[in-house]
Amino acid sequence: MLIQDSRGKQCVKYLLSKGANPNLADEYTNVNDMVKKYFSQFIDNELGNLITREDEFSDRLPTSTISTFKGFICLHYAVLLDNLSIIQVLIEHHADPLLANEEGHLPAVYAGSSSKECKDLILEYEKRHKHEVSKLIGSPPDYVGYGDGGQLTDSLAKCPTAVVLFDEIDKAHPEILTIMLQLFDEGRLTDGKSKTVDGKQAVYVLTSNLASDEIAEYHKTSDKQKK
């Protein structure tokens, strides 16, 4: 969560490009809890850092001493800072605005009255993510495109033995992965019209760049050892 404190857009982009998880939940609660838990380990400087952190982010929390930061993801902190550019970067790298903290609050809850842009940005993302899901399985009733069906469900219905490629699946929205879980776990999908489509005969290929840096580093090390 330190990346939010620096307010550095380039720092955030760099860390995300290196595989930092924007949806990792914070374990920090508040100064009082931390002091009680680790009092014997604190020195004045460390306690001062915690208080600085509390002052930096807590001006919109009800009462700093009884509230908690536990469960915050980067997006919660970016909204607290009113930093639109960092919010945009985080959303582009699949930070999920639908992840609640321990108190059950979504990031948008912490947008101040002057932060209409923050709320609009997150709402736009939510609409876009619903559209991405509807493209796969079809829109639910009363939504635009309900009669069009879904790309994946329609394709499987027409060709049950298809080869389906999901390129760079790590960049997909978490809701897409939830849909895939039903497909891989049960071998079927339920489309927007509540019809069940069988997908057991199809072949699914998923690609990912998650370990590309590690693989490249491994090859470099292997080449050096051979020499």
Q: Which domains, ranges and CATH numbers included, belong to the chain?
A: 2-127 (1.25.40.20), 150-227 (no CATH)
User: What's phi and psi for 203, nearest 5 deg?
Assistant: -110, 130
Q: What is the pLDDT of residue 76?
A: 85
Q: Work out the average pLDDT over 80-96.
A: 82
Q: What is the pLDDT of residue 175?
A: 74
Tokens of 174: 């978490």
Q: Work out the average pLDDT over 161-169.
A: 89
Q: What is the 3-state secondary structure (H, E, C) of 69-133?
A: CCCCCHHHHHHHCCCHHHHHHHHHCCCCCCCCCCCCCCHHHHCCCCCHHHHHHHHHHHHHHHHHH
Tokens of 98: 């639908």
Q: What is the pLDDT of residue 124?
A: 74
User: What's phi and psi for 166, nearest 5 deg?
Assistant: -110, 100
Task: Express each pLDDT in 137-157 by its tens digit.
Answer: 876 666 555 567 788 888 899
pTM over 0.85? The answer is no
